[in-house]
Chains A and B, each alone.
Chain A
Amino acid sequence: MALPLGYPLRNLVHRRLRTGLTVAVIALVVIATTLFLGLVSSMRRTLATTGSPDNLIVLRKGSDNDGSSAVPLEAHQALRFFDGVGKSAAGEPLASPELVVQPFFKTEAGGRENVLVRGVEPIALAVHEEVRIAEGRMFEPAQGEAVVGRGVASRYRGAQLGRDLRFGRRSWKIVGVLDSDGSSFESEVWVDVRDLAADAKRTIPYSGLRLKLAPGADRDALIRRIEADSRWTLGAKPETEYYAKQAESANVFYVLVVGLAVLAGFGAAFGATNTMYSAVQARIAEIGTLRALGFSRGSVMQAFLIESIGLAALGLVVGVAIAVPLAVAVSQALGGIAFGLSTFSTSVITLRVSPFDIAIAAFLALAVGVGGGLAPAWRAANLRPVEALRKG
């Protein structure tokens, strides 16, 4: 017969200080783990949601970022009429020539960061389908106007809608705010490609092209045709692949974070084991009585395991309850967390703890509960009733 569930759980309440301290330890480990996982997953989410599988990015062959690439004007003129490139409703090819420059921006905190400024033509909004003008309007060509991503508007001085923002060699009027569901386009500023080329004095005005595939077009055939063209040394790949490659920098942190979480998990498990051993120690007579009354070894063991898991569950709840608002607070205090991309520019991310991070933390807490409770529960179950009664 199993012991009622209330027995182990009420035991937790009985020894308040000890339970409190152990819960605090598990909660801290949960906070540390979720905060860290949240950072890495926010980084990956930002990059992984950027780009569309139907879009091709064309750069100088071998270049892995559009900040260090150059594509001649004639290549753009030729490529836009290749088979497989989509057409807009008006019949215009969905090919967006783009120039990427990274000028300095001043942060609200007084720092200086390289921000990705993308020079585009109006067709860009049709090619990058996920990018929308959330407030204001798109810039007018050759007017020195700019639209800024949400992340940019909140992080940099003077980058808000309606204001004049100085970057590069001149001042730009901000006429709109871009939204792209949290992807890395929100860390960019878009201006007219010719305005930008003039300002940056670029002799080759384009750093890359983005092509939208026509529905049903053969993507690989188009890539082969672009790469085989001997007039230029160009390379093409799906946008999603391009951004996934940039997300690889986050993988390094993943290894580190998981390693540290396991380390901290072991520490917490040791603490839980201690608490559970002392719980067994303090209740030897009680266990003897239970066994004498006819409760089986299994049910005694189960009761102590449940107690240990209860401890871990409490720690998890407290930890998550603190970690989620803490992540928001840290993110807000820093005006978004910036990290450097391999493109030599800044990506602003909002630190957020995702359900998946919490699931991993829950798994860790469960492991701590079971791992910490197993040995003490085993000892409790294997106490000999007669001796236990005598000792108590």
Chain B
Amino acid sequence: MIKFIPFVWRNLMRNPLRSMLTGGAIMLALAMVCVLRTAPEGFDRFLDNLAKNSRISIHNTAGIVYGMPYAYLARIKAVPGVVGAVSWSWFGGAVDRDKGVTFPNFAVDADAIGVVFEDLGIEPAAIEHFRSHRDGALVGRMTMQRQGWKPGDEITLVGMVYPVDLSFRISGEIPAEQDPRFWFHRTYLEEALRAQGIPSDQVGMIWARIDQAELVPGVMKQIDDMFRNSEAETESETEKSFFQNFFSLLQGFIVVFLIVSWLVAGCIVFIAANTASMAVRERMRELAVLKAIGFRWRLLFTTLLGEAALLATVAGALGALLSLALTRALATQAAMTPTMGPLAGFVVTNWMLVEALFLAFFIGILSGVVPSFGGARRSVATTLREVF
């Protein structure tokens, strides 16, 4: 079979213009499929990553904005299986009042942050600095880079919701590429609010880490049962489930993305089938001669099919590379203009490239089957009678 590849390639090059046009069309379409699939795939990857930890979110059943008493934290910490818990309240601070809130900032409990978010790989020195400085802050890498901050910098966040401005000294970085979060001490915010006469005994959410994954469902049930019929009933869920719900709004978009990418994949089939049928039709006479001198139809069928598959695969490989270049370009563009931010999330993985190659090969076979079969099985006598 391998020895026929040069022969198949030579056949493709008989009409280089046509092969190039078909190849070009397949390449563009496949690049598009890859780019479109980055959105849903990236989302799944993000969720799968979260599924690895045993962290749970506890919040008011009515909604995240409803809050619950700070006293819940101590009761949750006492539940067997919970190794650590922190409260988590949205502050809504901005670096520049005119630009508004550009990254999420939360007031948290410093003492347990290293335990609950152990998996983030924050430097122990940074955590220690954060714990021991009441104006300390831990900042996600993305925000550090965007703002041009480094540990030790002194910065001020202006309150967009609460009438308080808070000054911080950055303790260290949360070392995750896409992490925008900014954490600071809850007590620091509470003092500032109390000075203004605003009571703040409510927290938005509580994150708790359970020491064994098997215990998670039981602990969640125990916590929710504990607060049933209280002033703030709670709903516990895993971190994965929390973000899945948080981003459920993207579901409609993802459906449209998937539909469009399937449509485009369908396009490739038609383009390739069209070319394959042209190639076979042109070579009717030659095929009949080859059969007349003793070549088996199976061999002819295989070479014709091979031709379609080879073209599609080569074009598919180029298309996959093109999608890689496109997403890189988008990401660079997005890094420069903040409003394009979401586009930075489109990343083509190696696995997607491999899948794209298989898809291209499969499409090549699919599109070549009918014309090749027809061409190879046609009776010699009929063909020769027609063409001579």
Query: Which of B24, B25, B198 has the most A CB atoms < 10 Å from its CB?
Result: B25
- Complex contacts, B62 vs chain A, CB 8 Å: 103-104, 167-169
Between-chain CB contacts (< 8 Å), 10 pairs: A17-B277, A25-B270, A68-B161, A70-B163, A112-B245, A113-B248, A256-B343, A270-B25, A277-B21, A334-B252
Q: How many interface residues does chain A have, given as a range?
A: 35 or more
Contact residue among A24, A31, A104, A168 (Cβ-Cβ distance under 8 Å from B270):
A24
Give the distance in Å from the alpha carbon of A340 to the alpha carbon of B245 in the complex. Answer: 12
Check: A61 CB closer than 8 A to any chain B CB.
yes
Q: Is B273 an interface residue (CB 8 A)?
A: yes
Contacts of A35 in B (CB 8 A): 256, 259-260, 263
Check: B222 CB closer than 8 A to any chain A CB. no
Kindly state whether residue A18 has any CB partner on chain B within 8 Å: yes
Interface residue? B97 (CB, 8 A): yes
Contact A264 B264 (CB under 8 A): yes
Q: Which of B31, B32, B249 contacts A338 (CB 8 A)?
A: B249
Tell me which residues from 315 to 360 in chain A have a Cβ below 8 Å from any Cβ of chain B: 326, 330, 334, 336-340, 344, 346, 351
Q: Which residues of B contact A334 (CB under 8 A)?
A: 251-252, 255
User: Of residues 230 to 280 in B, which have CB atoms within 8 Å of A's CB atoms?
Assistant: 245, 247-253, 255-256, 259-260, 263-264, 266-267, 270-271, 273-275, 277-278
A39: B residues at CB distance < 8 A: 253, 256
Report A161-202 residues with CB < 8 Å from chain B CB.
167-169, 200-201
| Binary contact readout B118-151 vs A (1 if CB under 8 angstroms, 0 otherwise) | 0000000000000000000000000000000000
Q: Which residues of B contact A339 (CB under 8 A)?
A: 249-250, 252-253
CB neighbours of A221 from chain B (8 A) = none
**Is A230 interfacial (CB 8 A cutoff)?**
no
Q: CB distance B100 to A104 under 8 Å?
A: no
Nearest chain-B residue to A65 (Cβ)?
Answer: B100
Q: What size tier do the contact residues of chain B reach?
A: 35 or more
**Number of inter-chain CB pairs below 8 Å:** 193
Asked if A266 is an interface residue, CB under 8 A from chain B, the answer is: yes
User: Which residue in B21, B29, B94, B267 is a CB contact (below 8 Å) of A273?
Assistant: B21
* Closest-CB distance, A194 to chain B (whole angstroms): 17
What does the 1/0 interface line of A4-46 toward B look like (CB < 8 Å)? Answer: 0000000000000110011011001101100110010000000
8 tightest A-B CB contacts, nearest first: A337-B252, A62-B97, A270-B25, A103-B63, A267-B28, A340-B249, A21-B274, A64-B100
The answer to whether A271 has its CB under 8 Å from any CB of chain B is yes
Q: Does any Cβ of B come within 8 Å of A274's Cβ?
A: yes
- Docked complex Cα distance between A39 and B260 (Å): 12
Contact of A338 with B252 in the complex, beta carbons under 8 Å:
yes
Q: Is the CB of B259 within 8 A of A271?
A: no
Known contacts A18-B277, A68-B160, A248-B339; decide if A330 and B249 are in contact (CB<8 Å).
no
B108 within 8 A of A: no
A28 CB contacts on chain B under 8 angstroms: 263-264, 266-267, 270
Contacts of A22 in B (CB 8 A): 270, 274
- Chain B residues contacting A31 (CB-CB under 8 Å) are 263
Known contacts A62-B94, A278-B278; is-contact A267 B248 (Cβ 8 Å): no
- Nearest-Cβ distance from residue A367 to partner chain B, whole angstroms: 14
A31 to B255, CA, bound (A): 15
Flag if A268 contacts B25 (CB, 8 Å).
yes
Query: What's the Cα separation between A274 and B17 when bound, in Å?
Result: 8
Known contacts A104-B62, A248-B339; decide if A263 and B97 are in contact (CB<8 Å): no
Q: How far does the Cβ of B116 sit from chain A's closest Cβ, in whole Å? A: 23
* Complex interface residues of chain B between 43 and 70 (CB less than 8 A to chain A): 61-67
**When the two chains form the complex, which single residue of B18, B99, B270, B342 contacts A62, counting CB atoms closer than 8 Å?**
B99
Tell me the minimal C-beta distance from B181 to chain A in angstroms.
Answer: 15
Pairwise interchain contact A32-B260, C-beta atoms closer than 8 A: yes
How far does the alpha carbon of A251 sit from the alpha carbon of B343 in the complex, in Å? 11
Cβ distance B104 to chain A, nearest Cβ, rounded Å: 10
Cα separation A324 to B317 with both chains bound (whole Å): 34
The reply to whether A69 and B271 form a contact with Cβ atoms under 8 Å apart is: no
B202 part of interface (Cβ distance < 8 Å): yes
Q: Is the CB of A70 within 8 A of B339?
A: no
Chain B nearest CB: distance from A102 CB in Å? 5
Known: A21-B274, A64-B100. A277 touches B35 (CB 8 A): no
| Partner among B63, B94, B202 whose Cβ is within 8 Å of the Cβ of A114 | B63
In the complex, chain B residues whose CB is within 8 Å of the CB of A168: 62-63, 66
A263-B31 contact, Cβ under 8 Å, with A35-B256, A114-B64, A338-B251: yes
**B245 adjacent to A70 (CB under 8 Å):** no
Q: Does A252 contact B (CB under 8 A)?
A: yes
The answer to whether A267 and B100 touch across the interface, beta carbons within 8 angstroms, is no
Contact with A along B7-38 (1 / 0, CB 8 A): 00000000001100110111111011001100
Complex Cα–Cα for A340 and B266 (A) = 31
Query: Given the known A-B contacts A114-B64, A270-B22, are A18 and B274 also in contact in the complex, defined by CB atoms under 8 Å?
Result: yes
Residue among B260, B342, B343 facing the most chain A CB atoms (10 A cut-off): B260
Question: Does A69 contact B274, Cβ atoms closer than 8 Å?
Answer: no
Determine if A260 is an interface residue (Cβ-Cβ < 8 Å): yes
Given A31-B263, A64-B100, A70-B162, the answer on whether A251 and B339 have CB atoms closer than 8 Å is yes
Shortest B140–chain A CB gap in Å is 19
Q: Which residues of B contact A32 (CB under 8 A)?
A: 260, 263-264, 267
| A112-B65 Cα distance, complex, nearest whole Å | 14
Asked if A94 CB lies within 8 Å of chain B CBs, one says: no
Closest to A24 in B: B270
Task: Please measure, in the bound complex, the distance between the C-alpha atom of A62 and the C-alpha atom of B251, giving whole angstroms.
Answer: 31
Contacts of A260 in B (CB 8 A): 32, 35-36, 260
Pair B63/A274 contact, Cβ less than 8 Å: no
Contact of B278 (CB < 8 Å), options: A18, A24, A233? A18
